[in-house]
Amino acid sequence: MVTDEAGTRMVPEASSPTMSESLLPFERLLSKVSADLVLASPATVQHGIHEGLRRLAEFFDVDRSVLYEHSPDRRGLLERASYTRPGIPTNPADARSDSHLPWSSERMLRGEIVRFDSPAELPPEAVREWAQAGLSGLQSYLAVPVLLQGGHHHHLVLASFRRKRAWTDDAVPRLLLLGEMLAGAFERARIEQELRESEQRYREVFELTSDCIFLLDVTPDMRFIVARFNPAEERTVGLSACEGRPLEELLPEEVACKVAANFRRCVEAGHRISYEEAIALPVGLRYFHTTLIPVKDAAGRIHRIVGIAHHITERVEAEQATHLLADASRALAESLDYPTTLARITRIAVPLLADWCVVDILENGELRRLAGAHVEPSKEALLQLLAERYPVTGNSQQPAGRVLRTQQAILCTHATDDMLWKYTHDADHMNLIRALGCHSFMSLPLVVRDRVLGTVTFVSCRPGRHYGAVDLSRAQDLASRMALAIDNARLYREAQESIRMRDDFLSIASHELRTPITSLGLAVQSLLGPRREPTREDLLRVLRLVRQQSRRLTRLVEEILTFSRIQGGHMELHRERLDLVSEVREIIELLEVELARAGCAVELDAAAPVIGRWDAVKLDEVVTNLLTNALKFGARRPVTIALEAVEGTARMSVTDRGIGIAPDRIPHIFERFERAVSSSHYGGLGLGLYIVRELVEAHGGSVRAESRVGAGSSFIVELPLEPPEPTR
Ligand code: ADP
């Protein structure tokens, strides 16, 4: 065994040394340690350091070798790697730090060499300290400070427990050399680890963020090539494999131009710019808050742009929906006029929710298309054409027709040609829709108080705007506001009509009531006149007039009373067994004077009695009304009343040969206050036929009119002989 001047064990030299064996022992140690560290990967570098410490301990023939790092605050020592020979007890407290040994650690932290060859060289407090730490077996100790570039302080420590060591002077520089090697490897490993962690953090931010982050290469001719983009971009914008491709290859020309204009603006400005933009992407219309940061190369040219596009579609759309609803509510509340409201309704949704919109309103059981609004005013003529050529009916296959039948909304996200064929009638219809444009549409029922008032159809023809569930729910909000506005306008119109009718009725009624009273007044006045005493003939004439006018007054008042009873729902039937033929005969007799005055002969055509159970008073009213109308409008020509019983039904027709009724008025004459003649020519309240219909229907029967202008009219009443079975 040979020992060198450092007192370390020497390996006996071989007879024919190899290259490394021919080196001096310390140089061999250095080359082995350095080979271990050079070959170590980031994952094995710690092992390389440990191997280095082992070789060091063996070379210096000590029991323990440790690499300490000074803590960043320079107040403690942190064990970074150590080797302890097998069989040597280690103090657990010693495992990570020597800070619990103030005597040595204070010196080390001051950057000093701590060295003793035997415990005898230690001051008493150090001996106590080491003994307390369970290190009483420590014989020799050498700790050498290692200062690396960048201000990292380390100590490389050798400790011998089994025997005393007399450290030679060159042990310190040798340890310094090895210490730099080991601590350097440790620092490099740490830097690599930090780099890896920072790269990982950067990657996480880049890959997981919901914002789009992109790097663009700016070519000298101001084109933009995508250098990097994060996966969020793929998800949000629906583009993939963008890297290395120019912008115009990735987006449709129009969209690429718009986007590139902002990139160019950033290069020209030479500083960061931020803005909000809407881009029609393959996945639909998306809104972004974008920040662009120009990056200069060494020559000062902007060669790159870093972009961060924060996705704000949801926020923008929510804001737009709120504005849309607020605007809609305001616009619809501005007017109660029905036509104005209908005209406004289609405009509200364009362009915020739709590029064109049509509304179909149910009126008298039929859909009426309101020519809608189009984002391009020049296309509104096409909408008019669509309304005229393809009106929607209840069984139409157009969206509005289907919605009306099912009362369910239709959402069509991608309106393909195949799909549009299903909703159109023929090639012309299809061409019209294509000319208007249709990428996506929604059709919804307009519902208020559980009643469907019509339908509304929103259509998008903008590339990238495809309706989805969110749009449908917004459309539903808008549709319910539209329905409410239509309902309000309709109720208002009805209320106005009722008021007008009531006013008309009041003026007609007062006129009708005043006429007999005036006639009575004049007759009485003629008797009281100063000229001469009234003769018996005068008295009789006046009395007949009083009887006639008081009957007329009674009938008018009866009519008004019956009407108000019907309106108030207070009408009751008192059925009794009657012969309709004798009832009619009695009425003709009662009206004898009036018939004579009207110059109408009344012919009763009844082969046999017509017996049934009816309310006598109400039946009288029906017959009297029809007969007095026949007298009034009968042009002094004969009137025929025909009566018969056929299969459990009494059939009565009152036929005159008078002025007749215009065909378009016939459906209305049974309505309240409806009249087909001028009130200045013919008196009447416009209630007679309404009362007839109500009374006949109360008996379970029906009434209709047949007429030709100038040829006369026939009113046909059908009454069940017996009351209908009550429905349960
Ligand atoms: P009124 O007779 O008080 O006007 P009605 O309700 O009885 O009211 O009749 C409504 C309208 O129907 C009349 O104003 C008249 O225009 C038309 N009408 C009714 N009966 C006849 C008839 N026999 N011939 C022609 N028109 C008639």
CA distance 705 to 517: 33
- Is the CB–ligand 1 distance for residue 580 below 6 Å? no
Average pLDDT over residues 62-73: 90
* Mean pLDDT (whole number) for 392-404: 87
In this predicted structure, what is the pLDDT of residue 590? 86
Q: Residue 359 forms beta bridges with which residues?
A: 370, 456
Contact 628, 688 (CB under 8 A): yes
User: What's the pLDDT at 727?
Assistant: 53
Name the pLDDT band for 73 (thresholds 50, 70, 90). Answer: confident
With vertex at residue 96, the alpha carbon angle to CA 94 and CA 99, rounded to the nearest 5 degrees, is: 70
The DSSP bridge pattern shows strands 712-720 and 366-374 to be unpaired
Quote the pLDDT of residue 683. Answer: 78
Q: What is the pLDDT of residues 279-290, one digit of tens each?
A: 887 777 789 999
| Cβ of 694 less than 6 Å from ligand 1 | no
pTM exceeds 0.95, yes or no: no
Query: DSSP 3-state assignment of 480?
Result: helix
pLDDT at 479 (0 to 100): 92
> Ligand 1 centre from 661 Cα, in Å?
8
Q: Is the CB of 629 under 6 A from ligand 1?
A: yes
Going by CA atoms, what residue is nearest to atom 8 of ligand 1? 686
Longest CA–CA separation in the chain, Å: 182
Span from the CA of 93 to the centroid of ligand 1 (angstroms):
119
Read off the amino acid at residue 227: A
Which amino acid residue places its CA nearest to atom 10 of ligand 1? 675
210 — pLDDT class (breaks 50, 70, 90): confident
Instruction: Judge contact between 460 and 353, C-beta under 8 A.
Output: no
Rounded CA separation 692/639 (Å): 18
| pLDDT tens column, 228-287 | 887 666 666 777 777 888 888 888 888 889 999 999 999 999 999 999 998 887 777 789
CB 464 within 8 A of CB 284: yes
The answer to whether the bond into 399 is cis (omega within 30° of 0) is no
Using the 8-state DSSP alphabet, how is residue 71 labeled?
A: -
Q: Is 605 helix (H, G, I), strand (E, B) or coil?
A: strand
pLDDT for 371: 59
Distance 256 CA to ligand 1 centre (A): 74
pLDDT at 91 > cutoff 90: no
Pocket test for ligand 1, best of 563, 625, 669 (most atoms within 8 A of CB): 669
pLDDT > 70: what percent of the chain?
A: 94
CB-based contacts of 219, cutoff 8 Å, min separation 6: 225
Provide the pLDDT for residue 100: 60
Q: What is the DSSP letter of 398?
A: S
Per-residue pLDDT tens for 359-388?
999 888 788 887 588 999 899 999 999 988
For residue 633, the ligand 1 atom closest to its alpha carbon is: 24
Task: State the CB neighbour count (10 A cutoff) for residue 550.
Answer: 12
Identity of residue 296 = K
Q: Look at residue 511 and tell me whether its pLDDT is greater than 80.
A: yes
Banded model confidence at residue 394, pLDDT cuts 50, 70, 90 = confident
Residue 12 has pLDDT above 60, yes or no: no
Band (92; pLDDT cuts 50, 70, 90): very low
Low-confidence winner among 56-70, 95-109, 236-250, 522-536 (lowest mean pLDDT): 95-109
Among 242-246, 557-561, 621-625, 675-679, which range has the highest average pLDDT? 621-625
Does residue 677's CB lie within 6 angstroms of at least one atom of ligand 1? yes
- Is there an atom of ligand 1 within 6 Å of 661 CB? yes
* 446 close to 488: Cβ distance less than 8 angstroms: no
Query: Do the bridges between strand 410-412 and strand 440-448 make them parallel or antiparallel, or are there none, so unpaired?
Result: antiparallel
